[in-house]
Chains A and B, each alone.
Chain A
Amino acid sequence: MTPVPTPGQTVGPFFHYALPYDGDTELVPRGAAGAVRLHGTVRDGAGAPVPDAILELWQADAAGEVVQQAGSLHRDGWTFTGFGRSATDAAGRYGFTTLSPGAVPGGSAPFFAITVFARGLLHRLFTRAYLPGASDAFLDGLDTERRSTLLAVADESGFRFDVRLQGEDETVFLDFGDE
């Protein structure tokens, strides 16, 4: 018999001394060749910043390869592991220093895979931050307005990707058939 999945629960308000770690937001050192910022603000249904969310980033490297290397929790300064975490600050902002994910085979647009956790959010949410102007079969299948919530916006430091948990400009969150 297939086992039934264990339910999720909110990350709560007290994760800050457990989940964040030194170097969690720096997938590459600041100033490294090709380093970009991926950053944004998490907002709730009233448009207020969410100061107790934590985002996880999981992504391919600059060549579009999936990396299977340990070391995300204790970075050695040169191995790109593709994983990071960023708790939001008092203004609801998160930010990573990372590489732009490279093109992947098969014609799909590359993206940053993102998991959102927060106090008040009872079960994690998945989304994707695509590079500005991205287009592929998945994106083209979405309403134009909804699609725009998955597209990062280029800025002076790299990419801005805001997350709206609820409301008119609510981010597109994903169900991989497991919900």
Chain B
Amino acid sequence: MADSMTGLQPQDAIDTEMQVISESYAAGDGVETQPRRDYAPYRSSRLRHPTKDLQQADPEGIELWAPVFGARDVGELESDLTIQKGGEPVGERMVVTGRVLDGEGRPVRHQLVEVWQANAGGRYIHQRDQHPAALDPHFTGMGRCLTDADGTYRFTTIKPGPYPWKNHHNAWRPAHIHFSLFGTDFTQRLVTQMYFPGDPLFDRDPIYQSIVDPRARERLVAAYDHDVTQHEWATGYRWDIVLTGSHRTPVEQDTAEEAHA
């Protein structure tokens, strides 16, 4: 029954829907690696997913290439989200680093990575986020960097807090950082979210659970890494990202890499 104050369905109802989908998936023998776009427990998806089959297409022309970003696009300091507003933001300072790889395991070199996130109290600096948690005058929660020659990205930030949303009554998102990634081909474009190990909200979150394969959704969970943690400064997390495969031929691939060298 919907909550009498909010008119929203209870968590139990969402949990039951997710459970049914999960059991149905487990009973089949398919292996899914991506979220389902049609995932009713995430209410906003209901009118925003295609109902017709995607059209198979061979990537052609422009789709075999990705935009190029360089030093003129991204400043060195944009990867540190703790120094953007003239003071130390509140919260657990952390470093998050990892590699961006293509579907063959090759590093995606010198490519743009963008992140955005809530502050330590779970509040976004966005006019649509009006829930009663403090804004942090020293934190905007967005950053950019370019991967290095090894495909490695690295951000210094604050661990984001979980936050409430209106999917259902008492809905809370697990803490996460939004990531935006480019590969060497247009077809590899990816926007996703990185989560933290052991979050108690995983089982109750329909966005995370829209990836119905348990092993697939665990690929979005960063690992705590003590070698990334810095003495008296920041905790460290490691998260690698794998894009889909490149459709370009090796000759074209080599040319692109030389152009970046």
Chain B residues with Cβ under 8 A from A174's Cβ? 54-57
Binary interface encoding of chain A residues 41-59 relative to chain B, with 1 for a CB under 8 A from any of its CBs, else 0: 0001110101000001011
Task: Please name 19 further chain A to chain B contacts, defined as beta carbons within 8 Å, in addition to the given A10-B42, A122-B42, sorted by A numbering.
Answer: A5-B103, A6-B241, A6-B243, A7-B33, A8-B192, A14-B128, A16-B126, A17-B125, A17-B126, A44-B47, A45-B46, A59-B62, A71-B70, A73-B69, A82-B67, A121-B45, A125-B37, A171-B50, A176-B57
CB distance from A81 to the nearest CB of B (A): 6
Chain B residues with Cβ under 8 A from A154's Cβ? none
Chain B residues with Cβ under 8 A from A171's Cβ? 50
Instruction: Give chain A interface residues in 1-48, CB to chain B under 8 Å.
Output: 2-19, 44-46, 48
Contact: A122 with B36, CB < 8 Å? Answer: yes
CB distance from B162 to the nearest CB of A (A): 14
Give which listed residue, A7, A58, A121, contacts B67 with CB less than 8 A: A58
CB distance from A51 to the nearest CB of B (A): 10
| Partner-A contacts on B (CB < 8 A) | 33-37, 39, 42, 44-52, 54-74, 101, 103-105, 112, 114-116, 118, 124-126, 128-129, 140-142, 144, 178, 180, 186-187, 189-193, 207-208, 210-211, 216-217, 219-220, 241-245, 247, 256, 259
Contact: B192 with A6, CB < 8 Å? Answer: yes
A118 beta carbon closer than 8 Å to chain B: yes
Instruction: Work out how many contacts link A and B, with CB atoms closer than 8 A.
Output: 232
Chain A residues with Cβ under 8 A from B56's Cβ? 174-175, 177
Contact: B50 with A170, CB < 8 Å? Answer: yes
Contact: B39 with A122, CB < 8 Å? Answer: yes
With A18-B114, A70-B73, A108-B61 already in contact, the answer to whether A6 and B189 are too (CB < 8 A) is: no
Contact: A45 with B73, CB < 8 Å? Answer: no
Nearest 4 A-B pairs (CB), nearest first?
A70-B70, A120-B44, A18-B116, A83-B67
Contact: A72 with B47, CB < 8 Å? Answer: no
Give which listed residue, B103, B126, B193, B247, contacts A9 with CB less than 8 A: B193
Is chain B's binding surface mostly helix, strand, loop or mixed?
A: loop
A60 beta carbon closer than 8 Å to chain B: yes
Contact: A121 with B49, CB < 8 Å? Answer: yes
Report how far A142 CA is from B48 CA in the complex, Å. Answer: 23
Contact: A124 with B190, CB < 8 Å? Answer: yes
| Partner-B contacts on A (CB < 8 A) | 2-19, 44-46, 48, 50, 56, 58-60, 66, 68-74, 76, 81-83, 101, 104, 108, 110-111, 113, 115, 117-126, 138, 142, 146, 165-167, 170-179
* In the complex, residue of chain A having the shortest beta-carbon distance to the beta carbon of B176: A9
Report how far A101 CA is from B60 CA in the complex, Å. Answer: 14
Chain B residues with Cβ under 8 A from A176's Cβ? 57-59, 63, 187, 244, 247
Contact: A165 with B62, CB < 8 Å? Answer: no
Report how far A19 CA is from B73 CA in the complex, Å. Answer: 13
Give which listed residue, B42, B67, B105, B187, contacts A120 with CB less than 8 A: B42
Chain B residues with Cβ under 8 A from A167's Cβ? 51
Chain A residues with Cβ under 8 A from B191's Cβ? 8-11, 117, 124
Give which listed residue, B72, B101, B115, contacts A3 with CB less than 8 A: B101
Report how far A176 CA is from B247 CA in the complex, Å. Answer: 9
Contact: A7 with B187, CB < 8 Å? Answer: no
Contact: B187 with A74, CB < 8 Å? Answer: no
